[in-house]
Amino acid sequence: MLTLGDYSPSELQSELSIPSNLLSHHLRTLESAGLIGRHRSEADRRRSYISLTPGSLAGLTAGARHAAGRVLFVCTHNSARSQLASALWRQASDIPAASAGTHPAEHVAPGAIDVASRHGLDLRSLSPRHLDEVATDQDFIVTVCDNAHEELSSPQGVHWSVPDPLRANTPTAFECAFKDIARRVTDLAPRLHAA
């Protein structure tokens, strides 16, 4: 499960149908071995997310493949992370991609436009769109921010807990978000096939 995205302990417990004490034991073991990490949600600071440590499973065979008619990247404002993810996806896969927000901003963040441009992507002509205008029942949804994930409760797809680069609003913050998303897109693309 963690090869696809990030999960809160309660989401893992629900998916795996195991007692919380057993899950806690396994998570502590994986964490002490350096295979996983945890961090606090940017939305609900009481919640934490578990994620694989980048490169921790390098060389292992990927898990099951999933069907997707389209990949829909969702964040709150659709002004940075979801726009970057959608643009990166188009380079990595033939499966169509779109992006949307639960509360779209008026425009794409200048920092997102700049980091995309530095990496050969053009976001200048894009506008944030509302999830209700874009989503279909056939979408494989990837939430790229904790706020959107927690607001949508259980979308069909996965969650990537990518820190919001607009909080720091620096070129470094946008570069870190870009690299995190690029790594995740590269990992997910071979795991999806066209529906």
Q: What pLDDT, in 10s, does the model give residues 41-75? A: 998 888 999 999 988 877 665 666 788 899 999 99
Q: pLDDT, tens digit, for every residue of 16-34?
A: 999 999 999 999 999 999 9
Q: What percent of the chain is modeled with pLDDT above 70? A: 96
Q: pLDDT, tens digit, for every residue of 116-171?
A: 999 999 999 999 999 999 999 889 999 999 999 999 976 678 999 999 999 999 99
Architecture of domain 66-189: 3-Layer(aba) Sandwich (3.40)
CA 153, CA 116: separation in Å to the nearest integer? Answer: 29
Residues in the chain: 195
The pLDDT assigned to 60 comes to 65
CATH class of the domain defined by 1-65: mainly alpha
Round the average pLDDT of the chain to a whole number and report it.
92
The pLDDT assigned to 154 comes to 64
Strands 48-52, 36-40: pairing is antiparallel
The pLDDT assigned to 62 comes to 61
- Residues 72-79: what's their mean pLDDT? 97
Domains of the chain, residue spans: 1-65, 66-189
Which stretch of DSSP H or E encloses residue 139? strand 139-143
Helix 81-92 to helix 110-118 angle, to the nearest 10 degrees?
A: 30
pTM tops 0.85, yes or no: yes
CA 4, CA 24: separation in Å to the nearest integer? Answer: 20
Q: Which of 176, 139, 184, 183 has the alpha carbon at shortest distance from 160?
A: 184
The pLDDT assigned to 55 comes to 82
Residue keyed to tokens 């726009």: 83
Dihedral sign for Cα 87, 195, 189, 140, please.
positive
